[in-house]
A and B are shown apart, each in its own frame.
Chain A
Amino acid sequence: MTTQASGDALVSLNGVNKHYGQLHVLKDINLQVRKGEVVVVIGPSGSGKSTLCRAINRLETIDDGAIAIDGKKLPEEGKDLAHLRADVGMVFQSFNLFAHKTILENVTLGPIKVKKVAKGTADKEAMALLERVGVGHQAPKLPAQLSGGQQQRVAIARALAMKPKVMLFDEPTSALDPEMINEVLDVMIQLAKEGMTMIVVTHEMGFARKAADRVVFMADGQIVEDATPEEFFTNPKSDRAKDFLSKLLTH
Protein backbone atom coordinates (compact mmCIF):
# COMPACT_ATOMS: atom_id res chain seq x y z
CA MET A 1 0.00 0.00 0.00
CA THR A 2 2.96 2.28 0.27
CA THR A 3 4.07 1.83 -3.30
CA GLN A 4 3.44 3.31 -6.70
CA ALA A 5 1.27 6.25 -7.64
CA SER A 6 -2.13 5.09 -6.60
CA GLY A 7 -4.73 7.59 -7.74
CA ASP A 8 -5.29 8.92 -4.25
CA ALA A 9 -1.71 10.00 -3.59
CA LEU A 10 -1.94 13.53 -2.16
CA VAL A 11 1.78 14.15 -2.33
CA SER A 12 3.85 12.26 -4.85
CA LEU A 13 7.54 12.47 -5.59
CA ASN A 14 8.89 10.54 -8.54
CA GLY A 15 12.57 10.20 -9.37
CA VAL A 16 13.49 13.44 -7.60
CA ASN A 17 17.14 14.47 -7.72
CA LYS A 18 18.92 17.51 -6.37
CA HIS A 19 22.53 18.59 -6.21
CA TYR A 20 24.26 21.32 -4.24
CA GLY A 21 27.26 21.71 -6.49
CA GLN A 22 29.12 18.41 -6.18
CA LEU A 23 26.92 17.17 -3.35
CA HIS A 24 24.08 14.90 -4.41
CA VAL A 25 21.56 15.70 -1.65
CA LEU A 26 18.48 13.94 -3.02
CA LYS A 27 19.05 10.69 -4.90
CA ASP A 28 16.19 9.37 -6.98
CA ILE A 29 13.53 9.92 -4.33
CA ASN A 30 10.18 8.18 -4.78
CA LEU A 31 7.56 8.84 -2.14
CA GLN A 32 3.77 8.71 -2.19
CA VAL A 33 1.72 10.09 0.67
CA ARG A 34 -1.99 9.34 0.73
CA LYS A 35 -4.68 11.57 2.14
CA GLY A 36 -4.83 11.38 5.93
CA GLU A 37 -1.48 9.64 6.20
CA VAL A 38 1.17 10.75 8.70
CA VAL A 39 4.66 10.13 7.37
CA VAL A 40 7.63 10.73 9.63
CA VAL A 41 10.98 11.23 7.95
CA ILE A 42 13.98 10.42 10.11
CA GLY A 43 17.66 9.99 9.52
CA PRO A 44 21.07 11.34 10.46
CA SER A 45 21.73 15.03 9.88
CA GLY A 46 22.85 15.80 6.37
CA SER A 47 20.79 12.96 4.99
CA GLY A 48 18.64 15.34 2.92
CA LYS A 49 15.41 15.04 4.90
CA SER A 50 14.96 18.80 5.37
CA THR A 51 15.74 19.41 1.72
CA LEU A 52 13.12 16.81 0.82
CA CYS A 53 10.56 18.57 3.00
CA ARG A 54 11.36 22.00 1.57
CA ALA A 55 11.28 20.70 -1.99
CA ILE A 56 7.64 19.69 -1.58
CA ASN A 57 6.51 23.34 -1.54
CA ARG A 58 9.38 24.41 -3.75
CA LEU A 59 11.35 26.38 -1.19
CA GLU A 60 14.10 24.25 -2.72
CA THR A 61 14.12 23.66 -6.45
CA ILE A 62 14.89 20.21 -7.79
CA ASP A 63 17.14 19.22 -10.68
CA ASP A 64 14.93 16.51 -12.13
CA GLY A 65 12.02 14.26 -11.33
CA ALA A 66 8.47 15.32 -10.59
CA ILE A 67 6.61 16.47 -7.50
CA ALA A 68 2.83 16.66 -7.54
CA ILE A 69 0.36 17.82 -4.90
CA ASP A 70 -3.15 16.40 -5.21
CA GLY A 71 -2.41 15.35 -8.79
CA LYS A 72 -1.11 18.77 -9.84
CA LYS A 73 2.53 19.15 -10.79
CA LEU A 74 4.40 21.84 -8.85
CA PRO A 75 4.40 25.03 -10.96
CA GLU A 76 7.69 26.78 -11.69
CA GLU A 77 7.18 30.25 -10.21
CA GLY A 78 4.62 33.02 -9.99
CA LYS A 79 0.91 33.01 -9.14
CA ASP A 80 0.33 29.31 -9.77
CA LEU A 81 3.04 28.36 -7.34
CA ALA A 82 1.63 30.79 -4.76
CA HIS A 83 -1.80 29.19 -5.14
CA LEU A 84 -0.38 25.75 -4.63
CA ARG A 85 1.63 26.79 -1.60
CA ALA A 86 -1.55 28.10 0.00
CA ASP A 87 -2.69 24.45 0.09
CA VAL A 88 0.52 23.23 1.70
CA GLY A 89 1.10 24.27 5.31
CA MET A 90 4.69 24.59 6.42
CA VAL A 91 6.13 24.71 9.91
CA PHE A 92 9.80 25.65 10.26
CA GLN A 93 12.47 24.74 12.76
CA SER A 94 12.96 28.42 13.64
CA PHE A 95 9.20 29.27 13.72
CA ASN A 96 9.62 32.27 11.39
CA LEU A 97 6.67 34.16 12.79
CA PHE A 98 6.38 37.61 11.20
CA ALA A 99 8.36 39.67 13.70
CA HIS A 100 6.50 42.95 13.09
CA LYS A 101 2.99 41.51 13.36
CA THR A 102 0.98 40.51 16.41
CA ILE A 103 0.20 36.86 17.07
CA LEU A 104 -3.34 37.35 15.78
CA GLU A 105 -2.12 39.15 12.64
CA ASN A 106 0.39 36.37 12.01
CA VAL A 107 -2.53 33.96 11.74
CA THR A 108 -4.97 36.20 9.86
CA LEU A 109 -2.54 37.65 7.29
CA GLY A 110 -2.68 34.62 4.99
CA PRO A 111 -6.47 34.26 4.95
CA ILE A 112 -7.00 38.03 4.49
CA LYS A 113 -4.32 38.74 1.87
CA VAL A 114 -4.18 35.43 0.01
CA LYS A 115 -7.69 34.02 0.33
CA LYS A 116 -9.42 37.43 0.58
CA VAL A 117 -11.40 36.37 3.65
CA ALA A 118 -13.18 39.27 5.40
CA LYS A 119 -11.22 40.54 8.41
CA GLY A 120 -14.02 39.78 10.89
CA THR A 121 -14.30 36.17 9.75
CA ALA A 122 -10.52 35.75 9.64
CA ASP A 123 -10.16 37.13 13.17
CA LYS A 124 -12.81 34.77 14.51
CA GLU A 125 -11.30 31.71 12.85
CA ALA A 126 -7.80 32.72 13.94
CA MET A 127 -8.89 33.09 17.55
CA ALA A 128 -10.48 29.63 17.43
CA LEU A 129 -7.22 28.19 16.08
CA LEU A 130 -5.13 30.00 18.67
CA GLU A 131 -7.40 28.66 21.42
CA ARG A 132 -7.04 25.19 19.95
CA VAL A 133 -3.24 25.32 20.18
CA GLY A 134 -3.50 26.89 23.64
CA VAL A 135 -2.22 30.43 23.05
CA GLY A 136 -5.49 32.36 22.66
CA HIS A 137 -4.65 34.80 25.45
CA GLN A 138 -1.40 35.79 23.65
CA ALA A 139 -3.22 37.14 20.58
CA PRO A 140 -2.31 40.84 20.94
CA LYS A 141 1.39 40.22 21.71
CA LEU A 142 4.36 40.30 19.36
CA PRO A 143 6.16 37.01 18.58
CA ALA A 144 9.30 38.03 20.50
CA GLN A 145 7.24 38.16 23.71
CA LEU A 146 6.37 34.45 23.52
CA SER A 147 8.38 31.38 24.45
CA GLY A 148 9.70 29.13 21.70
CA GLY A 149 7.04 26.50 22.31
CA GLN A 150 4.30 29.09 22.15
CA GLN A 151 5.74 30.59 18.98
CA GLN A 152 5.86 27.21 17.30
CA ARG A 153 2.23 26.54 18.23
CA VAL A 154 1.30 29.90 16.71
CA ALA A 155 3.23 28.90 13.59
CA ILE A 156 1.13 25.74 13.39
CA ALA A 157 -2.04 27.81 13.79
CA ARG A 158 -0.82 30.16 11.05
CA ALA A 159 -0.38 27.25 8.68
CA LEU A 160 -3.74 25.72 9.64
CA ALA A 161 -5.52 29.03 9.01
CA MET A 162 -5.00 28.46 5.29
CA LYS A 163 -6.94 25.17 5.59
CA PRO A 164 -4.11 23.24 3.91
CA LYS A 165 -4.47 19.83 2.31
CA VAL A 166 -1.17 18.71 3.75
CA MET A 167 1.12 19.98 6.49
CA LEU A 168 4.91 19.87 6.28
CA PHE A 169 6.94 20.02 9.49
CA ASP A 170 10.65 20.69 9.11
CA GLU A 171 12.21 19.67 12.46
CA PRO A 172 9.54 21.58 14.39
CA THR A 173 10.99 20.83 17.82
CA SER A 174 14.72 20.99 17.13
CA ALA A 175 15.07 24.63 18.20
CA LEU A 176 13.04 24.20 21.38
CA ASP A 177 14.08 23.84 25.00
CA PRO A 178 13.36 20.29 26.20
CA GLU A 179 10.45 21.30 28.43
CA MET A 180 8.66 22.91 25.49
CA ILE A 181 8.92 20.02 23.07
CA ASN A 182 5.91 18.17 24.40
CA GLU A 183 3.49 21.08 24.15
CA VAL A 184 4.26 21.25 20.42
CA LEU A 185 4.18 17.48 19.90
CA ASP A 186 0.80 17.29 21.68
CA VAL A 187 -0.65 19.73 19.17
CA MET A 188 0.82 17.70 16.32
CA ILE A 189 -0.50 14.41 17.68
CA GLN A 190 -3.94 15.96 18.03
CA LEU A 191 -3.71 17.13 14.43
CA ALA A 192 -2.72 13.65 13.27
CA LYS A 193 -5.68 12.14 15.10
CA GLU A 194 -8.02 14.56 13.36
CA GLY A 195 -6.93 13.11 10.03
CA MET A 196 -4.55 15.79 8.74
CA THR A 197 -2.12 14.61 6.11
CA MET A 198 1.32 15.27 7.54
CA ILE A 199 4.94 14.92 6.51
CA VAL A 200 7.13 15.39 9.55
CA VAL A 201 10.90 15.62 9.58
CA THR A 202 11.94 15.07 13.17
CA HIS A 203 14.31 13.47 15.64
CA GLU A 204 11.47 12.73 18.05
CA MET A 205 11.21 8.95 17.93
CA GLY A 206 8.41 9.05 20.50
CA PHE A 207 6.29 11.06 18.09
CA ALA A 208 7.11 8.66 15.27
CA ARG A 209 6.00 5.70 17.38
CA LYS A 210 2.86 7.36 18.61
CA ALA A 211 1.50 9.21 15.58
CA ALA A 212 3.14 7.95 12.40
CA ASP A 213 1.49 5.65 9.88
CA ARG A 214 4.82 5.25 8.14
CA VAL A 215 8.40 5.93 8.96
CA VAL A 216 10.70 6.89 6.11
CA PHE A 217 14.37 6.50 6.94
CA MET A 218 16.80 8.58 4.89
CA ALA A 219 20.57 8.40 4.70
CA ASP A 220 22.97 10.07 2.26
CA GLY A 221 20.15 11.53 0.18
CA GLN A 222 18.35 8.23 -0.33
CA ILE A 223 15.25 6.66 1.13
CA VAL A 224 16.70 3.55 2.75
CA GLU A 225 13.60 2.21 4.48
CA ASP A 226 9.89 2.90 4.28
CA ALA A 227 7.94 0.94 6.87
CA THR A 228 5.37 1.09 9.66
CA PRO A 229 6.76 2.36 12.97
CA GLU A 230 6.53 -1.09 14.64
CA GLU A 231 8.40 -2.72 11.80
CA PHE A 232 11.02 -0.02 11.61
CA PHE A 233 11.80 0.29 15.30
CA THR A 234 11.65 -3.42 16.17
CA ASN A 235 13.01 -4.94 13.01
CA PRO A 236 14.98 -2.52 10.85
CA LYS A 237 16.21 -4.17 7.67
CA SER A 238 19.17 -2.06 6.57
CA ASP A 239 22.48 -1.83 8.40
CA ARG A 240 22.28 1.95 8.09
CA ALA A 241 19.03 2.06 10.02
CA LYS A 242 20.23 -0.45 12.62
CA ASP A 243 23.31 1.66 13.15
CA PHE A 244 21.23 4.85 13.45
CA LEU A 245 18.79 3.31 15.93
CA SER A 246 21.51 1.75 18.06
CA LYS A 247 23.12 5.15 18.47
CA LEU A 248 19.81 6.63 19.61
CA LEU A 249 19.06 3.91 22.08
CA THR A 250 22.38 3.90 23.91
CA HIS A 251 21.56 7.25 25.56
Chain B
Amino acid sequence: MDAVIASLPQYWDGFLRTLYLSVISGIIALIVGTILAAMRVSPVAALRGFSTFYVEVARNTPLTIIFFFAAIVLPRLGVKFEQFEVAAIIALSSYTAAFIAEAVRSGVNSVPVGQAEAARSIGMTFIQVLGFIVLPQAVRTVIPPLINILIALVKNSSVAGAFFVLELFGYGRQLSNDYGDQVLWILLGVAFFYLLITVPLGLLAHFVERKVAIAR
Protein backbone atom coordinates (compact mmCIF):
# COMPACT_ATOMS: atom_id res chain seq x y z
CA MET B 1 0.00 0.00 0.00
CA ASP B 2 2.83 2.40 0.91
CA ALA B 3 4.42 1.60 -2.41
CA VAL B 4 1.28 2.69 -4.24
CA ILE B 5 1.07 5.97 -2.37
CA ALA B 6 4.76 6.63 -2.82
CA SER B 7 4.42 5.96 -6.54
CA LEU B 8 1.37 8.14 -7.18
CA PRO B 9 3.32 10.52 -9.47
CA GLN B 10 4.35 7.58 -11.70
CA TYR B 11 0.82 6.21 -11.66
CA TRP B 12 -0.54 9.58 -12.66
CA ASP B 13 1.98 9.94 -15.46
CA GLY B 14 1.16 6.44 -16.73
CA PHE B 15 -2.55 7.09 -16.41
CA LEU B 16 -2.31 10.23 -18.54
CA ARG B 17 -0.27 8.42 -21.19
CA THR B 18 -2.75 5.52 -21.31
CA LEU B 19 -5.57 8.02 -21.60
CA TYR B 20 -3.71 9.85 -24.34
CA LEU B 21 -3.02 6.66 -26.33
CA SER B 22 -6.63 5.50 -25.95
CA VAL B 23 -8.26 8.79 -26.89
CA ILE B 24 -6.09 9.46 -29.94
CA SER B 25 -6.25 5.85 -31.17
CA GLY B 26 -9.99 5.74 -30.41
CA ILE B 27 -10.71 8.83 -32.51
CA ILE B 28 -8.61 7.60 -35.43
CA ALA B 29 -10.14 4.12 -35.21
CA LEU B 30 -13.69 5.55 -35.18
CA ILE B 31 -13.02 7.58 -38.30
CA VAL B 32 -11.16 4.85 -40.17
CA GLY B 33 -13.61 2.18 -39.01
CA THR B 34 -16.61 4.17 -40.24
CA ILE B 35 -14.94 4.74 -43.60
CA LEU B 36 -14.16 1.01 -43.84
CA ALA B 37 -17.80 0.18 -43.03
CA ALA B 38 -18.99 2.63 -45.70
CA MET B 39 -16.66 0.98 -48.21
CA ARG B 40 -18.02 -2.41 -47.19
CA VAL B 41 -21.61 -1.46 -48.09
CA SER B 42 -20.73 0.69 -51.13
CA PRO B 43 -21.79 -0.24 -54.66
CA VAL B 44 -18.14 -0.35 -55.81
CA ALA B 45 -16.86 -3.94 -55.73
CA ALA B 46 -13.18 -2.91 -55.39
CA LEU B 47 -13.91 -0.88 -52.24
CA ARG B 48 -15.95 -3.72 -50.76
CA GLY B 49 -13.12 -6.13 -51.47
CA PHE B 50 -10.45 -3.91 -49.94
CA SER B 51 -12.50 -3.29 -46.81
CA THR B 52 -13.27 -6.98 -46.33
CA PHE B 53 -9.61 -7.89 -46.79
CA TYR B 54 -8.41 -5.25 -44.35
CA VAL B 55 -10.96 -6.11 -41.67
CA GLU B 56 -10.30 -9.84 -41.86
CA VAL B 57 -6.53 -9.42 -41.71
CA ALA B 58 -6.49 -6.82 -38.94
CA ARG B 59 -8.95 -8.43 -36.59
CA ASN B 60 -7.57 -11.92 -36.99
CA THR B 61 -3.95 -10.96 -36.29
CA PRO B 62 -2.75 -10.87 -32.67
CA LEU B 63 -2.33 -7.30 -31.46
CA THR B 64 1.23 -7.99 -30.35
CA ILE B 65 2.20 -8.85 -33.91
CA ILE B 66 0.61 -5.66 -35.21
CA PHE B 67 2.57 -3.73 -32.56
CA PHE B 68 5.74 -5.48 -33.59
CA PHE B 69 5.06 -4.57 -37.20
CA ALA B 70 4.38 -0.90 -36.35
CA ALA B 71 7.28 -0.47 -33.96
CA ILE B 72 9.98 -2.45 -35.72
CA VAL B 73 9.06 -3.26 -39.32
CA LEU B 74 7.60 0.14 -40.31
CA PRO B 75 10.81 2.06 -39.38
CA ARG B 76 12.85 -0.37 -41.51
CA LEU B 77 10.52 0.38 -44.42
CA GLY B 78 11.40 4.04 -44.06
CA VAL B 79 8.50 5.23 -41.88
CA LYS B 80 10.39 7.09 -39.17
CA PHE B 81 8.92 8.52 -36.00
CA GLU B 82 10.44 10.27 -32.99
CA GLN B 83 8.63 8.35 -30.27
CA PHE B 84 7.33 4.84 -29.86
CA GLU B 85 3.97 6.36 -28.94
CA VAL B 86 3.38 6.99 -32.62
CA ALA B 87 3.94 3.32 -33.39
CA ALA B 88 1.58 2.42 -30.54
CA ILE B 89 -1.10 4.72 -31.94
CA ILE B 90 -0.69 3.29 -35.45
CA ALA B 91 -0.95 -0.27 -34.12
CA LEU B 92 -3.88 0.36 -31.78
CA SER B 93 -5.95 2.37 -34.24
CA SER B 94 -5.41 0.10 -37.23
CA TYR B 95 -6.32 -2.94 -35.10
CA THR B 96 -9.35 -1.33 -33.44
CA ALA B 97 -10.63 0.16 -36.72
CA ALA B 98 -11.33 -3.36 -38.00
CA PHE B 99 -13.63 -4.10 -35.06
CA ILE B 100 -15.34 -0.73 -35.34
CA ALA B 101 -15.92 -1.34 -39.05
CA GLU B 102 -17.70 -4.60 -38.22
CA ALA B 103 -19.83 -2.98 -35.52
CA VAL B 104 -20.84 -0.10 -37.79
CA ARG B 105 -21.60 -2.48 -40.65
CA SER B 106 -23.93 -4.54 -38.49
CA GLY B 107 -25.57 -1.31 -37.36
CA VAL B 108 -26.06 -0.25 -40.97
CA ASN B 109 -27.64 -3.62 -41.71
CA SER B 110 -30.04 -3.16 -38.80
CA VAL B 111 -31.66 -0.14 -40.51
CA PRO B 112 -34.59 -1.32 -42.67
CA VAL B 113 -33.57 -1.38 -46.33
CA GLY B 114 -36.65 0.70 -47.23
CA GLN B 115 -35.06 3.71 -45.53
CA ALA B 116 -32.13 3.65 -47.94
CA GLU B 117 -34.42 2.94 -50.90
CA ALA B 118 -36.58 5.94 -50.07
CA ALA B 119 -33.50 8.13 -49.73
CA ARG B 120 -32.11 6.90 -53.03
CA SER B 121 -35.38 7.49 -54.80
CA ILE B 122 -35.41 11.19 -53.87
CA GLY B 123 -32.05 11.45 -55.61
CA MET B 124 -29.57 11.20 -52.76
CA THR B 125 -26.09 9.95 -53.57
CA PHE B 126 -24.58 6.98 -51.75
CA ILE B 127 -22.70 9.21 -49.31
CA GLN B 128 -25.83 11.28 -48.58
CA VAL B 129 -27.95 8.19 -48.00
CA LEU B 130 -25.38 6.91 -45.53
CA GLY B 131 -24.69 10.23 -43.82
CA PHE B 132 -28.22 11.64 -43.51
CA ILE B 133 -30.42 8.56 -43.29
CA VAL B 134 -28.68 5.28 -42.48
CA LEU B 135 -25.85 6.11 -40.06
CA PRO B 136 -27.94 8.39 -37.81
CA GLN B 137 -30.41 5.51 -37.39
CA ALA B 138 -27.63 2.96 -36.97
CA VAL B 139 -26.08 4.87 -34.06
CA ARG B 140 -28.52 3.45 -31.57
CA THR B 141 -27.67 -0.17 -32.27
CA VAL B 142 -23.98 0.58 -32.73
CA ILE B 143 -23.34 2.37 -29.42
CA PRO B 144 -23.24 -0.71 -27.11
CA PRO B 145 -20.80 -2.76 -29.23
CA LEU B 146 -18.80 0.39 -29.94
CA ILE B 147 -18.28 1.11 -26.25
CA ASN B 148 -17.23 -2.51 -25.75
CA ILE B 149 -14.63 -2.06 -28.45
CA LEU B 150 -13.37 1.18 -26.91
CA ILE B 151 -13.09 -0.46 -23.48
CA ALA B 152 -11.08 -3.24 -25.10
CA LEU B 153 -8.93 -0.56 -26.75
CA VAL B 154 -8.09 1.02 -23.37
CA LYS B 155 -7.01 -2.35 -22.04
CA ASN B 156 -5.19 -3.28 -25.26
CA SER B 157 -3.12 -0.12 -24.95
CA SER B 158 -1.22 -1.96 -22.20
CA VAL B 159 0.60 -3.85 -24.95
CA ALA B 160 2.40 -0.57 -25.65
CA GLY B 161 4.09 -1.01 -22.27
CA ALA B 162 6.03 -3.88 -23.78
CA PHE B 163 7.18 -1.64 -26.62
CA PHE B 164 9.06 1.00 -24.65
CA VAL B 165 6.05 3.26 -24.02
CA LEU B 166 5.75 4.19 -20.35
CA GLU B 167 2.01 4.05 -19.91
CA LEU B 168 0.15 2.53 -16.96
CA PHE B 169 1.24 -1.04 -17.60
CA GLY B 170 4.79 0.02 -18.42
CA TYR B 171 5.02 1.82 -15.07
CA GLY B 172 3.40 -1.20 -13.44
CA ARG B 173 6.24 -3.40 -14.63
CA GLN B 174 8.83 -0.88 -13.55
CA LEU B 175 7.28 -0.40 -10.10
CA SER B 176 6.94 -4.17 -9.61
CA ASN B 177 10.68 -4.38 -10.02
CA ASP B 178 11.28 -1.49 -7.63
CA TYR B 179 8.96 -2.87 -4.93
CA GLY B 180 9.46 -6.63 -5.31
CA ASP B 181 7.74 -7.31 -1.96
CA GLN B 182 4.54 -5.41 -2.80
CA VAL B 183 3.81 -6.56 -6.35
CA LEU B 184 0.18 -7.37 -5.56
CA TRP B 185 -0.52 -3.84 -4.35
CA ILE B 186 1.30 -2.30 -7.28
CA LEU B 187 -0.76 -4.30 -9.77
CA LEU B 188 -4.02 -3.56 -7.94
CA GLY B 189 -3.06 0.10 -8.26
CA VAL B 190 -2.57 -0.34 -12.00
CA ALA B 191 -5.96 -2.06 -12.33
CA PHE B 192 -7.61 0.74 -10.37
CA PHE B 193 -6.36 3.38 -12.79
CA TYR B 194 -7.59 1.34 -15.78
CA LEU B 195 -11.01 1.12 -14.13
CA LEU B 196 -10.93 4.89 -13.79
CA ILE B 197 -11.17 5.05 -17.59
CA THR B 198 -13.25 1.99 -18.45
CA VAL B 199 -16.03 2.27 -15.86
CA PRO B 200 -17.02 5.81 -16.89
CA LEU B 201 -17.01 4.61 -20.52
CA GLY B 202 -19.61 1.99 -19.60
CA LEU B 203 -21.71 4.62 -17.84
CA LEU B 204 -21.41 6.88 -20.87
CA ALA B 205 -22.73 4.03 -23.02
CA HIS B 206 -25.92 3.79 -20.95
CA PHE B 207 -26.41 7.55 -21.10
CA VAL B 208 -25.88 7.87 -24.85
CA GLU B 209 -28.07 4.84 -25.55
CA ARG B 210 -31.00 6.50 -23.82
CA LYS B 211 -30.30 9.81 -25.50
CA VAL B 212 -30.36 8.53 -29.08
CA ALA B 213 -33.38 6.26 -28.75
CA ILE B 214 -35.55 6.56 -31.87
CA ALA B 215 -39.27 6.04 -31.85
CA ARG B 216 -40.35 3.51 -34.45
A interface residue numbers (CB < 8 A to B) = 57, 59, 77-79, 82-90, 92, 94, 96-100, 109-110, 113-115, 142, 144-145, 155, 158-159, 161-162
Contacts of B137 in A (CB 8 A): 99-100
Q: A109-B132, A114-B128 are in contact. Are A86 and B123 (CB under 8 A)?
A: yes
State A120–B128 Cα separation when bound (angstroms): 21
| Chain B residues whose CB sits within 8 angstroms of the CB of A161 once the complex forms | 122
The answer to whether B43 and A77 have CB atoms under 8 Å apart is yes
B119 within 8 A of A: yes
Cβ–Cβ < 8 Å partners of A84 in chain B = 123
B215 A144 Cβ-Cβ under 8 A: yes
B216 adjacent to chain A (CB < 8 Å):
yes
Give every chain A residue within 8 A of B112 (Cβ-Cβ). 96
Q: Let me know if B121 and A88 touch, CB within 8 A.
A: yes
Is A114's CB under 8 angstroms from B124's CB? yes
Q: Give the docked Cα–Cα distance between A88 and B128 (Å).
A: 18
Partner of A99, one of B117, B125, B126, B216: B216
Interface size class, chain B: 20 to 34
Interface of chain B, main secondary structure: helix
Given contacts A78-B126, A158-B118, 4 further A-B contacts (CB under 8 A): A96-B118, A110-B122, A114-B122, A162-B122
Q: Which residues from B are CB-within-8-Å of A159?
A: 121-122
Output the residue of B115, B122, B132, B216 with the most chain A CB within 10 A. B122
Nearest chain A CB to B146's CB is how many angstroms away? Answer: 18
6 A-B residue pairings within 8 Å (CB atoms): A82-B120, A82-B125, A89-B121, A109-B132, A114-B124, A144-B215
Closest Cβ neighbor of A94 among chain B residues: B114
Is B133 located at the chain interface by the 8 A CB criterion?
yes
Residues of A within 8 A of B126 (CB): 78
Q: Shortest distance in angstroms between A114's beta carbon and chain B's nearest beta carbon?
A: 4
Report the Cα distance A92→B128, complex, angstroms: 20
Of residues 106 to 141 in B, which have CB atoms within 8 Å of A's CB atoms?
Answer: 112, 114-115, 117-126, 128, 132-133, 136-137
Please indicate the chain B residues that have their CB under 8 angstroms from the CB of A92 in the complex.
114, 117-118
Given A98-B133, A113-B132, do A59 and B121 touch, yes or no (CB 8 Å)? yes
> A residues within 8 A CB of B216?
99, 144
